[in-house]
Structure 1
Amino acid sequence: MLKAISLFTGIGGLDFGFEAAGFSTAVAVEMDAVACRELRRNRDWPLLADDIHKFSSQQILDTGGLVPGEADVLIGGPPCQPFSKSGYWAGGDAARLSDPRSSTLEAYLRVLRDCRPKTFLLENVHGLAFKGKDEGLKFLLEGIQSINKGLGTNYIPYCKKLNAAEYGVPQSRERVFLIGSRDGKPFRFPERTHCTTDDVEGIDSGLMAYKTAWDALGDLPADAGGDELRVKGKWGELLPSIPEGNNYLWHTGRGGGMPLFGWRTRYWSFLLKLKKDQPSWTIQAQPGPAIGPFHWRNRMLSGRELCRLQTFPDNITFGCSRSEVQKLVGNAVPSLLAEVLALEIKRQLLGVPADAALKLLPPSRGVAPPPEPVYPVPEKYHHLLGDHADHPGEGRGRGAAVRQIEQDLF
């Protein structure tokens, strides 16, 4: 099998996809103790279980039984909170690059330089490449140029933002990918294969309809989990009054429910519920008690359901708490998307024939059942009835005012 070096492995979302495409993880590096324990539970990959900055590149090579230039691919998604959506609003470009958490980018480049893999793939939040706030991406591109200048390599990175739903994942999830080869071979990102049913042009051109939450979860028990999956907290009893596929906006002056909130005054994922015949929204790693997406049966998603929406192999098991599973799964890359990209790396950059059939593509389960019933708003929420003000508009909310004050002061 082709050999991969895996950095910031997490629970192995990228690795599972590369595994399905015919790669073997020669060595993995991960610092989270729970992730390491669950990795060992599921795979026997050689694992360096600590902060990547504590391991030299030579230690990584030795653990994988590799020499410089031997690995077929370097993969990893450096965790970069400074470049998340919230990090977009940081006070300045230098502030985000100087954040100690951005040193993961430097660590990835260091391993790329020292191990000289034949190809590489780097995944990150799409905020890394936000227009006008793309200093993280520029840092990576300049670092790769420096590697080429120092070693005589010809890594040419190709960058694109991809939505996993457009490649058969039953979840809408946008991420940025950088892919390149040591000898400068050109790389073309695969064209999308799936689209919304409203995209008439796409459907007519041969694209398949998005995989849905029903495709992912339809064969699993709908009432799984019992009290462990009950939505608790202040808002849990309001969830049954929201139709599937909706969120708190249902209970605003512009929705179809009761006016309990102002329009766009909460996070989109507040009381957000899956719709059977649509892909899931992005699975979050550490959601609050009222943050979805929730199951259409008005409960939290089980660990197995979370894995299905991330297209993990069905043989993955967990020995940790549900909240720990959510964190591991929510931080991962959908494995099917990784499989799609791994197959293209094999074909285009490594010159290795690859099967056309995708191993992690969810089956189609036909027409989804009708929506679940919607229940009346419990009386305990009736005191919220009223004429609530809408959000004043982009750049005019409370957060924008705070940012403007900080900018004026500093």
Structure 2
Amino acid sequence: MFKILDLFCGAGGFSYGIELNKNFKTVVALDFNKSAKDTFTNNFKNVKVICDDITSEHVKSKIISLSKSEGVNMVIGGPPCQGFSLKGKKAGLEDSRNFLFLEYFNIVKEIKPEVFIIENVKALINSCNGYFIDQIIKKFKEIGYFINYGVMDSSKFGVPQIRERTIIIGSLSKKLSLPKELGKKKITVREAISDLEFLNSAEGNFILDYKINPKSSYQKIMRKNSLNLYNHISTKHSELALKKLSFIPAEGDKSSLPMNLRGKQKFHTTWSRLIWDKPSPTIDTRFDTPSNGRNSHPILNRAITPREAARLQSFPDTFIFYGNKTEICKQIGNAVPPLMAKCIADSLISQYNFEKVESDFIKIYNEDAYVYIEKLKKDNIRPNHIITDPPYNISTDNNFDTLRKPRVGLKFGDWDTNFNLYGWIPKYIEILDKNGSIIIFCSYRFISYIIEVLEKNNAVVKDVIKWKKTNPMPRNIDRRYVQDTEFAVWAVKKSSKWVFNRKIDSKYLRAEFQSSVVSGKEKTLHPTQKSLKILEEIIEIHTNEGDLIIDPFMGSGTTGVAAKKLKRKFLGIEIENEYYKLAKDRIFKENKE
């Protein structure tokens, strides 16, 4: 269970979305705005909510003390971002509000949660030529965090709104990835709000609500049928605004009007309507103002209601906003879309739930090698050797399109498509022992590129090893040579005393090994499985007993099986859970440790 401190919590969209995953629970929250505090308090009944100034030493001390007593191990929040936004003229260094990041940082430094997440405007990344993002990364790295960041578009995570936000994720134990886009059809304005009652300007049957302030007479709730639908309250527009709106065609904007109606005296700024069958543009804090942008109803002569805006932010109807109209608009416009927050939570849990098995000699991890390298560096793991068979990026839909009857091409899986072939090499070379060696299986197409990357990263290429298959897969023998050879590049660290165990009865060794294609009982479901015989021979020559071998792309686990058999230590990493389980079963099948 992750227990959360929500800083700059606002109405609570971030917390609400994250809590949609049962592994997360907000326990402490802070905001300076009383109306936002009222909204948060009434939607999160068991959270200790503080309404005060985060720059106050007394308040910070209170937050830190309360967070520690509640067992907070995760901090989330979006420090005010006006100074990074277009409306704030990207003020950057000149805007003191941007330095509230320091307050956020200092609280994280004191609490040291396992995870923190910062949400901000897209412009943060490029503000002041990257100064702020660089400073954020630097400061958090100095206190022990792995950092990752990127831009998320909420419309690609189930939210009926295009809202691009910078997300920064820090972790004490691993470099966490941002969530992958859902890949589903985007949710539209029609799907989000068309079932709500079609109110005209100033319409709605109101009843008084005294839950927050018994003396208040303006805290209103609309009654729809027999249910109370909170916040679906239409703004009372002026006669001039209503007239202007009446000129705008359904789903249109002022650009679709005759030229004599477009001038500033008629339509200053944008005056646009939402489009039914597209996601909404970004909902901001002034969505109730028709002249503010594309936030008027697709067909009705009014701005959208707070409830309609809340739905476009992906809030459920059960989430109630409190305060006057201006305050409610601010809360909704500033909120993190809950469904986007849920995707972040789901992604974090999936990354923390990766499986692993560890023994004295064998350690295997269901992890992403590109991410797990940070953990290896932090733990000062220094392998003697790296022997690996990464994806080749050779999957195709049809390799034989010149044939009269084309055959289906090689399609190994998503993991063999758009794989970053070379990006992992520099970081793994960096952790390699000073006398270490690296052997990378590869397609003939990429030998020269791999050699180039190795030689640019403190390695000396010694040879290209060949695996000759005695029973290769047949091809169109009238058009091509039989593909009977696979390759591996062998390199060592510069100035190293590398291992090379020539057999005593051999005058010399050729960089060539022969075996049949994997078949029979040895064959597994992995489509690019390497021969155990070949790996055993390579390991005997290039490593010594007790050496640590790392395989960042473990696949079916053949390198691990050979390493264990030959009394070498082994650390394997495999991102695909199906293949991780396969490798685990093979490596630990006999003599379980």
Whether TM exceeds 0.5 here: the answer is: yes
Report the Cα distance in structure 2 between the residues aligned to 1:98 and 1:17, rounded to whole angstroms: 33
Letter in 1 for 2:344: L
- Closer/same/farther in 2, CA of residues 325 and 233 from structure 1, 3 Å limit: farther
**Residues in 1 aligned to 2:268 and 2:170: alpha-carbon distance in whole angstroms:** 40
SS in structure 1 opposite 2:69?
Answer: coil
In 1, the alpha carbon distance for the partners of 2:251 and 2:162 equals 13
1:250 to 237, 252, 256: 256
Q: Which has the larger radius of gyration?
A: 2
Q: Check 1:223–1:259 CA distance in 2 against 1; reply closer, same or farther (3 A cut).
A: closer
Q: 2:188 aligns with which of 197, 208, 212?
A: 212
- 3-state DSSP of counterpart to 1:222: coil
Aligned counterparts of 1:333 and 1:20: Cα–Cα separation in 2:
14
Cα distance in 1 between the residues matched to 2:117 and 2:322: 30
Give the Cα–Cα distance (whole angstroms) in 1 for the partners of residues 94 and 128 of structure 2: 17
How far is the alpha carbon of 1:224 from its aligned partner?
A: 6.1
Q: 1:89 to 1:2 in 2, by over 3 A?
A: closer
Structure 2 residue aligned with 1:318: 321
* Distance of 1:144 and 1:2 partners within structure 2: 20
Aligned to 2:26: 25
Paired letter, 1:116: K
CA contact (8 A) 1:233 1:290 kept: no
Distance (whole Å) between structure 2 residues aligned to residue 172 and residue 276 of structure 1: 14
Residue 337 (structure 2) aligns with: 334
Match of 2:97 among 91, 98, 101: 101
Q: 1:248: Cα distance to partner?
A: 2.0
Deviations 1:2-31 (A, max 9, x none): 211110000001011111112111100101
1:229 alignment partner, SS class: coil
Q: Which residue of 1 aligns with 2:73?
A: 72
Aligned-partner Cα distance in 2 for 1:350–1:139: 31
Aligned to 2:9: 9
- The aligned runs of 1:4-403 (5 Å cut-off) are 4-22=4-22, 23-44=24-45, 45-54=47-56, 55=58, 57-64=60-67, 66=69, 70-90=71-91, 96-130=92-126, 133-146=129-142, 148=143, 153=144, 155-183=145-173, 185-193=174-182, 207-223=183-199, 226-227=202-203, 228-232=234-238, 234-251=240-257, 260-261=262-263, 267=269, 270-286=270-286, 288=289, 290-292=291-293, 293-296=295-298, 297-349=300-352
Q: Counting strand residues as a fraction of each chain, which structure ranks higher?
A: 2
Task: State the SS of the aligned residue for 1:157.
Answer: strand
Report how far residue 217 of structure 1 moved.
0.9
* 1:102-137 deviation per Cα after TM superposition (whole angstroms, max 9, x unaligned): 221111111111111111110001111126533221
CA offset digits 1:213-265 (Å, max 9, x no partner): 11111221122663542433744322222233332222365xxxx55238xx9
For the residues of structure 1 that align with 2:113 and 2:125, how far apart are their CA atoms?
24
The letter for the 2-side match of 1:130 is N
Q: What is the CA RMSD across the aligned residues, in angstroms? A: 2.4
Kept in 1, the 8 Å contact 2:9–2:77? The answer is yes
Name the amino acid aligned to 2:194.
G
Q: Retained in 1: the 8 A contact 2:9–2:30?
A: yes
Identity value in percent:
29
CA contact (8 A) 2:176 2:351 kept: yes
The structure with the largest helix share of the pair is 1
123-132 or 287-296, which moves further after superposition?
Answer: 287-296
Instruction: Check conservation: 2:200, 2:302, Cα contact below 8 A.
Output: no
**Deviation for aligned residue 1:323:** 2.6
Question: TM-score scaled to structure 2, two decimals?
Answer: 0.50
User: Are the aligned partners of 1:231 and 1:290 in contact in 2 as well (CA < 8 Å)?
Assistant: no
Q: Distance in 2 between the 1:316 and 1:300 partners? A: 21
Change (3 A) 1:315 1:225: farther
Following superposition, the deviation at residue 171 of structure 1 comes to: 0.7
> CA, structure 1 residues 313+348, in 2 after alignment: closer, same or farther (shift >3 Å)?
same
Question: What stretches of structure 2 of length at least 5 have no aligned partner?
Answer: 204-233, 356-593
Tell me, yes or no, if the aligned pair for 1:57 and 1:114 is still in contact at 8 Å.
no
Q: What is the CA–CA distance in structure 2 between the aligned matches of 1:38 and 1:160, rounded to whole Å?
A: 29
Per the TM alignment, residue 64 of structure 1 is displaced from its structure 2 partner at its CA by 3.7
Q: CA distance change for structure 1 residues 229 and 75 in 2, over 3 Å: closer, same or farther?
A: same
Contact 2:84 2:90 in 1 (8 A): no
Report the Cα offset of residue 181 of structure 1: 0.9
* Structure possessing the higher relative contact order (Cα contacts under 8 Å, 6 or more residues apart): 1
CA contact (8 A) 1:236 1:290 kept: no
The CA distance in 2 between the partners of 1:298 and 1:133, in whole Å, is 42
| Structure 2 residue identity aligned to 1:286 | R
Q: Is the 8 A contact 2:252 2:272 kept in 1?
A: yes
Give yes or no for contact 2:285–2:333 (8 Å, CA) kept in 1: yes
The question of whether the paired residues in 2 share the 8 Å contact of 1:230 and 1:300 is answered with: no
**What runs of 5+ residues in structure 1 fail to find an aligned partner?**
91-95, 194-206, 353-410
2:510 equivalent in structure 1: none
CA deviation vs aligned residue, 1:155-214 (integer Å, no higher than 9, x gap): 12111111111111001111100012111x132222222xxxxxxxxxxxxx32210111
- In structure 2, the CA distance between the partners of 1:132 and 1:233, relative to structure 1 (3 Å rule), is farther
Q: Give yes or no for contact 1:302–1:322 (8 Å, CA) kept in 2.
A: no
Q: SS at 1:85's partner residue? A: coil
Counterpart residue identity of residue 155, structure 2 = A
Change (3 A) 1:89 1:26: closer
Aligned 8 A contact 2:290 2:296 in 1: no
Distance (Å, rounded) in 1 between the aligned partners of 2:331 and 2:125: 24
How many residues get paired? 317
8 Å Cα contact 2:272-2:290 kept in structure 1: no
Is the 1:119–1:349 Cα contact (8 Å) retained in structure 2?
Answer: no
Q: Is the alpha carbon distance of 1:289 and 1:26 closer, same or farther for their aligned partners in structure 2, counting shifts above 3 Å?
A: same
Structure 1 residue 290: Cα displacement: 1.9
